[in-house]
Structure 1
Amino acid sequence: MFRLLAVSLTAAALLTGCSAADDWSESRPVAAPIGALGAGFADPASPPAPEATITPSPGSWDGVHPPEDYRVVLLTLGADAPARAVADAVRSWAAEEKVSLRTVEADPAHPVDGIVAAVTMKPDLVISAGNDLVDALALVTPSHLDQQFLIVGAEVAEPTGNVTAADWTGAGFRGEGLGSPSAYDPASFTSARCASAVRAGVAAVLHRLTGIVLWIS
């Protein structure tokens, strides 16, 4: 049995303000974005290479929205301020966009179980909050290439094409013994910065610009 706490769809619907009609029981095509990326997000004539880092122009993601009842699992681990800030940003974004949101709180002793539980739900996107998930994500994500992941405020050292990260100066924990960059600053995880990272990251995933790192300036 997975050692985690999963929020029910009904509770998540109340939290996000979305409809409870979608119980996630039926499969559906890959979600398509509503709206287009703005100028300066990425060069359409030269898409970023795998594992590349790009710096989208601020606000170039504002015109992109997920389709109604976009299915997202918020995967969390850790009670530290950065992890809480990212999780709060995901919840706020989900409420604003009427996303169908479920939450998995991974057990610190068994983070892989939490990731597998999130994948088993077959969401459109798993959004990760918490540095302590990074090593486990690096281990699990290459085995689930059909599942998209977005890591906010951290990144895996060698992402596969299904793992996108949104970072900024003060964030960027990489795990795998690499740890935090010298400029790591928990105070940089402001609500505004985390909100921008979530929106930019989701916009990239919806437009299939995945397997890269978005550097939010």
Structure 2
Amino acid sequence: MRPPLPALAAAFRPALPAVAVLAAAVTLTTACGSADDWSRPHPAPSAVGTLGAGFTGSASPAPEATVTPRPGSWTGVHPSAGYRVVLLTAGADRPTRALVTAVEEWADDEHVDLRTVSAKDASQLVPAITKAMAMGPDLVVSAGNDLVDALATVTPNHLEQQFLVVGAELAEPTHNVTAVDWSGASFRGEGLGMSSTYDPGSFTAERCAAAIRAGVAGVLNDLTGIVVWLDEI
């Protein structure tokens, strides 16, 4: 069962740093072999395939709700051709590296057009998010606890951009932010500290692979602004 959400420790989010000077320092990696520079419009992405029984309950989940999908109920859903994704990453810890590997392998398997934007330190977090959005992706996928507070600051002001946070979540997400989390992850930022159930060993290759696939399946089916809870995969 998901651990309860503790009371917020901080009522105000930190102010945005000046991003213009810092944006140039953010690292951008382009997927090998892609000739598309994303400068031209492309068809809106759609889900190929359907969710299996038990991904959600009988009713559509309410905003900020937590759903606990039946294991494997997301595997029948794939992105349509030309899906544009930016992987936004920060941190070199083992859980973050496991998530990055899972996203890269998923993109390769699904023939997703993937770009990666990396923030090397705290001063680059907001510029990295800004850079990712400016590229015009269908989805921004975030990997790394360091990004959570910066995302909480930026995402409410850009409701047209869809975000997927894997291995963490925002304490108060807007409808454009979907998260995939589990008991061993469950970092929420906002001064709440690390969950008592946090376990770096829970970021296995299997769970991280399930996280990106389940999260994207939800986004492609317009199940956004929720937390997808994956204690069972």
* TM-score (norm: length of structure 2): 0.87
Aligned to 1:17: none
Aligned to 2:222: 208
Confirm whether residue 154 of structure 1 aligns to residue 176 of structure 2: no
Distance change >3 Å, CA 48–CA 202, structure 1 → 2: same
Is the Cα contact below 8 Å between 2:91 and 2:120 reproduced in 1? no
Is the Cα contact below 8 Å between 1:22 and 1:69 reproduced in 2? no
Confirm whether residue 167 of structure 1 aligns to residue 189 of structure 2: no
With 61-70 and 20-29 compared, the bigger mean Cα shift is at 20-29
CA distance in 2, matches of 1:106, 1:85: 17
Q: What amino acid does structure 2 have at the position aligned with 1:152?
A: V
Is the Cα contact below 8 Å between 2:165 and 2:177 reproduced in 1? yes
Q: What amino acid does structure 2 have at the position aligned with 1:4?
A: V
Confirm whether residue 73 of structure 1 aligns to residue 69 of structure 2: no
For residues 1-217 of structure 1, the aligned pairs below 5 Å read 1=21, 2=23, 3-8=25-30, 12-14=31-33, 20-43=34-57, 45-108=58-121, 109-216=123-230, 217=232
Q: What amino acid does structure 1 have at the position aligned with 2:110?
A: E
CA distance in 2, matches of 1:126, 1:177: 24
* Runs of 5+ unmatched residues, structure 2: 1-20
* TM-score (norm: length of structure 1): 0.93
CA distance in 1, matches of 2:36, 2:71: 33
- The structural deviation recorded for 1:29 is 4.2
Deviations 1:75-120 (A, max 9, x none): 0000000110000000000000000000000131220000000000
Distance change >3 Å, CA 69–CA 13, structure 1 → 2: farther
CA distance in 1, matches of 2:115, 2:64: 28
CA distance in 1, matches of 2:114, 2:125: 20
Runs ≥4 in structure 1, deviation > 4 angstroms?
none
* Runs of 5+ unmatched residues, structure 1: 15-19
Q: What amino acid does structure 2 have at the position aligned with 1:77?
A: A
CA distance in 1, matches of 2:32, 2:53: 34
CA distance in 2, matches of 1:50, 1:30: 23
- The structural deviation recorded for 1:142 is 0.6
Is the Cα contact below 8 Å between 1:73 and 1:125 reproduced in 2? yes
Is the Cα contact below 8 Å between 2:88 and 2:140 reproduced in 1? yes
Q: What amino acid does structure 2 have at the position aligned with 1:98?
A: H
CA distance in 1, matches of 2:60, 2:40: 33
Identity %: 62
Structure exhibiting the larger radius of gyration computed from Cα positions: 2
Q: What amino acid does structure 2 have at the position aligned with 1:210?
A: T
- The structural deviation recorded for 1:212 is 0.3
